[in-house]
Chains A and B, each alone.
Chain A
Amino acid sequence: GAVVSQHPSRVICKSGTSVKIECRSLDFQATTMFWYRQFPKQSLMLMATSNEGSKATYEQGVEKDKFLINHASLTLSTLTVTSAHPEDSSFYICSARAGAREQYFGPGTRLTVT
């Protein structure tokens, strides 16, 4: 149990375009989902916390107008990277909380902006 999927797994886009990443909890309902970013050889960096039916809470230094998060249902959260630039190229990973505390991660989305 506790399976989280992400789509797409890999995306290449041109600078200035927007990219949407989907995160789904497949076998449980997740009231809270989290979005992380990971650069090569670095640890995970939490970007935002997404609660179903309410606005996301962004970590300090993360631009909410650039990284749009929508958590429309108990099984789906989306992250849209708007006007992407090469420096946004990274590994984006979502996680969903099952139960009170455990978080399970999706497989990640590798974004390359050219």
Chain B
Amino acid sequence: QKEVEQNSGPLSVPEGAIASLNCTYSDRGSQSFFWYRQYSGKSPELIMFIYSNGDKEDGRFTAQLNKASQYVSLLIRDSQPSDSATYLCAVNREAAGNKLTFGGGTRVLVKP
């Protein structure tokens, strides 16, 4: 079992719709969770982080964390073609030296 798992996609979403991305992790000791967006040929860009159970909203993005079920999700509302990218879920464990463990990424395609 991989430490952080994501569906590779592609997730095809009509423009204006909600894109829903999921991520599961295996280590219950994980404490903080991040979503990065990576455009092709570019480096990852931090878009959301969440540390506590529940929802966290920032603009069109909402991160949801459920530690009991060991999953974290990202919702993108009113999806735009510019949201087409690969979204990386990353998990941090302080006990492991605060290193991030990345999932393989979910490719999102927003179609006009």
CB of B43 within 8 Å of the partner chain = yes
A104 to B46, CA, bound (A): 7
Question: Binary interface profile of A, 93-114, with partner B (CB < 8 Å = 1, else 0)?
Answer: 1000100011111111000000
Interface size on A, residues (CB 8 A): 19
Residues of B within 8 A of A34 (CB): 99-100
Judged by DSSP, the binding face of A is strand
Complex contact B43–A107 (CB within 8 A): yes
Residue of B nearest to A93 (CB): B43
Residue of B nearest to A109 (CB): B43
CB of A25 within 8 Å of the partner chain = no
Residues of A within 8 A of B45 (CB): 105
Chain A residues with CB under 8 Å of chain B are: 2, 32, 34, 43-44, 46, 49, 57, 91, 93, 97, 101-108
